[in-house]
Structure 1
Amino acid sequence: MNSTSSIITIGREYGSGGRQIGQEVAKYFGIKCYDKELLEHAANDSGICKELFEHHDEKPTNSFLYSLVMDTYSFGYSSSGFSDMPMNHKIFLAQFDAIKKLAGEGPCVMVGRCADYALADWNDCFSIFVHADLDWRINRIASKHGKTPKEAKDMITKTDKSRASYYNYYTNKKWGAARSYNLCIDSGKLGIDYATEAIIESIKIFDRTKISK
């Protein structure tokens, strides 16, 4: 049986197949894949309704509020001041804690939601970013969702902008920049299946390097 000792995080451009790749990687290694499931876990742990997590999912907020978040987070979000915090603060902090808790339960794949940043101090974390040419993504989204090329492009532009703003806002890194991740891969060039295979082989190599250290 194939196995890994790693926590794999996957950032992805919209339409690049990042979620599908994450699911296939998890299936190969026999581990869990968390995408929107992260929201459900965060909701259950925090007592905040799931719909609020979905509403705020990978959406940025303003920098002034962010500074307040980080000040509060340094003391733990369960402090007495938590109940007075704006909802977007609560969502961010609860999700961050859920990511860490799930990672602590063992190897898994986590898709999006700044998981690579939340687990930056974890030696077992291997971060990946999946991207692809815009035209390739437009064709894929148009075909998958029955959209016109213009509608597909609008969906991609809006979602990528939101994800980039959210990631850049909550981390000290840049969304999609190679230096922000351990591995960047072009699913448009390789195709979903071969991109998945390349990621699996990279994880195997990463696991071996941990053993040799």
Structure 2
Amino acid sequence: MEPMVITMAREYASGGSEIAQAVADKLGIPLYNKELITMAAKRSGLTEEAIAASENQRSGSLIYSLYMMGNTMPLADQVYILQSNVIKEVAAQGSCVILGRCGDYVLRDRPNVLRTFVYAPLEERIQRAKARPDVKDMSDRSWESQLAKHDRARASYYNYYTENRWGEAKNYDLCLNAGLGLDTCADLIVAAAKAMQVKE
């Protein structure tokens, strides 16, 4: 049986990162998030900073970049291809949780992948964002604008590199409202993953 892989996309400050960690802990499997940056950097010779900075950017046309190849390929496209290869490698090595980075799309042809999306009520997202370290004090209206900006960047990146729409329910196996509780969401994902393995 193929290893179980759980991919998770999420709204900014929805609690998705915490849910992903809880799922990994409950199942005793690794979580790949920023580790994918480190692994991609080691394979490419690029710095982790350069990879992280390019993650939410996109170039003009990936098809054109692939046609041109060589050194003309924009850094964002190079990083997407590089991270896609790393995601496929870690998925082949064993069960894991992959956070973000179009993981659901990258592994679209692979069996035994549970594709999840986490969203949350705006008020909860604002409170979660405010609680992050080193954040400046802003009004709730300003926070709402910041959250929307982060989500637009994620959607733009995802929509550009995939054939799907970010956050659209039909592209995922399970969409969860983090307002149900982070631990509840983690338990639901674990139950769905186990059900999928039994079905396999």
TM beyond 0.5 = yes
Compute the displacement of 1:92 (Å).
1.4
**Which deviations, in whole Å up to 9, do the C-alpha atoms of 1:30-58 show, x marking residues without a partner?**
11101111111111112222111011113
Is residue 58–residue 77 contact of structure 2 (8 Å, CA) maintained in 1?
Answer: no
Residue identity in the other structure for 1:175: W
* Aligned counterpart in structure 2 of residue 153 of structure 1, from 122, 134, 144: 144
Secondary structure in 2 matching 1:120 = coil
Partner residue, 1:200: 190
Task: Give the alignment's TM-score, normalised by structure 2.
Answer: 0.91
CA distance in 1, matches of 2:174, 2:117: 6
CA distance in 1, matches of 2:74, 2:127: 39
Partner residue, 1:76: none
Compute the RMSD of aligned alpha carbons.
1.8
Aligned length: 196
Q: 1:5 to 1:56 in 2, by over 3 A?
A: same
Alignment of 1:65-84 (within 5 A): 65-71=61-67, 81-84=69-72
* Aligned counterpart in structure 1 of residue 110 of structure 2, from 122, 136, 156: 122
CA distance in 2, matches of 1:82, 1:102: 26
5+ residue gaps, structure 1, are 73-80
Compute the displacement of 1:70 (Å).
4.8
5+ residue gaps, structure 2, are none
CA distance in 2, matches of 1:154, 1:40: 31
CA distance in 1, matches of 2:97, 2:73: 30
Q: 1:181 to 1:13 in 2, by over 3 A?
A: same
Is residue 129–residue 181 contact of structure 1 (8 Å, CA) maintained in 2?
Answer: yes
Q: 1:69 to 1:6 in 2, by over 3 A?
A: farther
Q: Which moved more, 1:19-28 or 1:42-51?
A: 42-51
Task: Give the alignment's TM-score, normalised by structure 1.
Answer: 0.85
Alignment of 1:79-118 (within 5 A): 81-118=69-106
CA distance in 2, matches of 1:103, 1:5: 7
% same residue: 35
Secondary structure in 2 matching 1:144 = coil
Compute the displacement of 1:71 (Å).
4.4
Compute the displacement of 1:150 (Å).
3.5
Is residue 59–residue 77 contact of structure 2 (8 Å, CA) maintained in 1?
Answer: no
Is residue 7–residue 124 contact of structure 1 (8 Å, CA) maintained in 2?
Answer: yes
* Aligned counterpart in structure 2 of residue 17 of structure 1, from 15, 18, 21: 15
CA distance in 2, matches of 1:13, 1:209: 29
Residue identity in the other structure for 2:171: S
